[in-house]
Chains A and B, each alone.
Chain A
Amino acid sequence: MYAFNYHKPATVAEAATLAGKHADGKLLAGGMTLLPTMKQRLASPSDIIDLSKLGDLRGIEVKDGVVTIKALTRHVTVANSAEVKKAIPALAELAGMIGDPAVRNRGTIGGSVANNDPAADYPAACLALGATIHTNKRSIPADDFFVGLFETALGEGEIITSISFPVPDKANYQKFRNPASRYAIVGVFVAKKGADVSVAVTGAGDSGVFRQKDFEAALKSNFSAAALDGKSQSAAGLNSDIHADAEYRAHLIGVMAKRAVAAAK
């Protein structure tokens, strides 16, 4: 790891000032992605702005049909939250499938969403549920937030403060995980709200998480696994790597989508 200056601000405003002042600095949340990256010298921030003291960025609120999760809320808290389990069980299940218990004890929703790893789980939930990402500056709809591989709409030093998820009628997340890294080889999140159906796919796209609009159209007229019979995902634009080639991922997307529809509740 390269040397850096360490800061531990006490307020979001102070964190934002520090982030503004140190253009080559990085915010540190759970550190479950940033620290391994720094250890491999793939990142060399001049300054680390540790958010761990910002208690007002932790917590979950369910109000008026919206689940709002503050940015520093850890995966373990979301997975075990009685409120989340009741309002959006698929979201709690997703949080419980991230990494391993020690990763879930540190990793945060804000860090996961800001990082936008193409194999991360939360981005799929954000897209399928039509979440809004709130920052210290503005609110960004999920459809505009995830821009590309590890790329988001966040500006320099912009801090995610919370993420709000409208409660769907039904939803489910199915993940085919890489047994070694525990990340998704393919993950499909399906959500139904009124006449609207969203299908978001992670782990597969060569520019990160995406919505499968063909599947959405088929499910809008008939929300059942059978509605996806004969529908297929093209392998164009999907990743091929040592874990799975694009054709295999394309096939998995269909299988996981059907399972998610069948299990949605």
Chain B
Amino acid sequence: MPTVSMTVNGKPVTGEVDSRTLLVQFLRETLRMTGTHVGCDTSQCGCCVVHIDGDAVKSCTTLALSCEGAKVTTIEGLANGDQLHPMQEAFRENHGLQCGFCTPGMIMTAVELVGRKGHNLDEKTIREELEGNLCRCTGYHNIVKAIAAGAQAMGAKA
């Protein structure tokens, strides 16, 4: 079986994979990092979003082997020990989740969005940018609020 090496949340990892192994399977099944979720497996829902070299991508639609040498960040890589990342904290504070299934993808998408569009995000921008992230519970309202607040908090911290 081929092997693949990449950096996940700052740690170098290597694993044997089938050529078909998706990045999300490598993360969840080989590395046992189950924070990244599979909601649809058809590239629609965004539950599986992680960062590859800083870009938010759907890990259910990426081959593990394509990530050779890449720097991958998952939801597990955001917090600093017990201290939540400001975007995670904002989701908690604003009640931006109910069941929490979509939350890892929402947060990874939101963090990349702040990197691209800055700390002052209006509602329209946030809603447009969440086009690829589906939530079955919240109705989005508090997610949008959480992202706006999280973006501000990330700016205050920097």
| Residues of A participating in the B interface, judged by any CB pair closer than 8 Å | 1-6, 8, 28, 31-32, 35-36, 39-40, 48, 50, 52, 76, 99-103, 105-106, 180-182
A28, A39, A101: the one within 8 Å of B129 (CB)? A101
* Complex Cα–Cα for A4 and B129 (A): 34
What are the residues of chain A within 8 A of B63 when measuring CB–CB?
A: 6, 28, 31, 35, 48, 50
What are the residues of chain A within 8 A of B90 when measuring CB–CB?
A: none
Contacting pair A3 B19 (CB below 8 A): yes
> Apart from A48-B19, A102-B132, what 9 extra A-B contacts exist at CB < 8 Å?
A1-B20, A6-B19, A31-B63, A32-B43, A32-B61, A102-B46, A102-B58, A103-B43, A105-B56
* Complex Cα–Cα for A171 and B131 (A): 26
What are the residues of chain A within 8 A of B41 when measuring CB–CB?
A: 39
Known: A31-B61, A31-B66. A99 touches B132 (CB 8 A): yes
Taking the closest CB of chain B, its distance from the CB of A38, in whole angstroms, is 8
Top 8 A-B pairs ranked by shortest CB distance?
A100-B132, A100-B131, A6-B19, A105-B55, A1-B20, A102-B58, A102-B132, A35-B61
What are the residues of chain B within 8 A of A3 when measuring CB–CB?
A: 18-20
* Complex Cα–Cα for A28 and B20 (A): 13
What are the residues of chain B within 8 A of A4 when measuring CB–CB?
A: 19-20
Known: A35-B61, A36-B43. A101 touches B2 (CB 8 A): no
Taking the closest CB of chain A, its distance from the CB of B126, in whole angstroms, is 11
Contacting pair A31 B62 (CB below 8 A): yes
B61, B65, B112, B133: the one within 8 Å of A6 (CB)? B65
What are the residues of chain B within 8 A of A5 when measuring CB–CB?
A: 19
Taking the closest CB of chain A, its distance from the CB of B71, in whole angstroms, is 14
B68 CB within 8 Å of chain A: yes
B interface residues, how many (CB within 8 angstroms): 28
Q: Which residue of A lies closest to B49 (CB)?
A: A102
Taking the closest CB of chain A, its distance from the CB of B49, in whole angstroms, is 6
* Chain B, range 54-80, C-beta contacts under 8 Å to A: 55-58, 61-63, 65-66, 68
* Complex Cα–Cα for A28 and B67 (A): 13
B113 CB within 8 Å of chain A: yes
B83 CB within 8 Å of chain A: no
Taking the closest CB of chain A, its distance from the CB of B1, in whole angstroms, is 11
Tell which of A32, A102, A181 has the most Cβ of chain B within 10 Å. A102
What are the residues of chain A within 8 A of B42 when measuring CB–CB?
A: 36, 39-40
Contacting pair B62 A182 (CB below 8 A): no
Taking the closest CB of chain A, its distance from the CB of B44, in whole angstroms, is 8
What are the residues of chain B within 8 A of A1 when measuring CB–CB?
A: 20
B109 CB within 8 Å of chain A: yes
Contacting pair A100 B46 (CB below 8 A): yes
Taking the closest CB of chain A, its distance from the CB of B106, in whole angstroms, is 12
What are the residues of chain A within 8 A of B68 when measuring CB–CB?
A: 8
* Complex Cα–Cα for A77 and B23 (A): 23
What are the residues of chain B within 8 A of A102 when measuring CB–CB?
A: 46, 49, 56-58, 109, 132
* Complex Cα–Cα for A248 and B65 (A): 44
What are the residues of chain A within 8 A of B65 when measuring CB–CB?
A: 6, 8, 50
Taking the closest CB of chain A, its distance from the CB of B21, in whole angstroms, is 10
* Complex Cα–Cα for A8 and B129 (A): 32
25 A-B pairs, CB-CB below 8 angstroms?
A1-B20, A4-B19, A6-B2, A6-B63, A28-B66, A32-B61, A35-B22, A35-B43, A36-B42, A36-B43, A36-B61, A50-B63, A50-B65, A52-B66, A100-B133, A101-B56, A101-B132, A102-B49, A102-B57, A102-B109, A103-B132, A105-B57, A106-B57, A106-B61, A106-B62
What are the residues of chain A within 8 A of B20 when measuring CB–CB?
A: 1-4
* Complex Cα–Cα for A31 and B67 (A): 13
* Complex Cα–Cα for A101 and B44 (A): 11
